[in-house]
Amino acid sequence: MGARHDPSLFTDDDGTIYLLWQNTMIAPLSKDLSRYTGDPMRIDPTGSRPGPDGKPINRIGHEGATMIKVGGKYVHLGTAWSTDQGRKGSYNLYYCVADKINGPYGPRQFAGRFLGHGTPFQDKQGRWWCTAFFNANLPPLSRQGIESRDIGDNAQTINEQGVTIVPLDVQVLDDGEIFIRAKDPAYRNPGPDEAQTFEFVD
For residue 22, the enclosing domain spans 8-188
Q: How many domains is the chain partitioned into structurally?
A: 1
Q: Report if residue 60 sits inside a domain.
A: yes
56 neighbors 50 (Cβ within 8 angstroms): yes
Global pTM reads 0.97
Q: Report if residue 138 sits inside a domain.
A: yes
Q: Which of 2-11, 65-74, 193-202 has the lowest mean pLDDT?
A: 193-202
Q: Report if residue 195 sits inside a domain.
A: no
**CATH code for the domain in which residue 19 is found:** 2.115.10.20
Q: Report if residue 29 sits inside a domain.
A: yes
**28: pLDDT strictly greater than 90:** yes
**199: pLDDT strictly greater than 90:** no
Q: Report if residue 120 sits inside a domain.
A: yes
Q: Report if residue 202 sits inside a domain.
A: no
How many CA atoms within 13 Å lie on the side-chain side of 173? Answer: 8
* pLDDT single digits (tens) 78-97: 999 999 999 999 999 999 99
Residues 6 or more apart in contact with residue 116 via CB below 8 angstroms: 61, 64, 79, 80, 81, 90, 91, 92, 93, 135
Residue 85 confidence (pLDDT): 96
**158: pLDDT strictly greater than 80:** yes
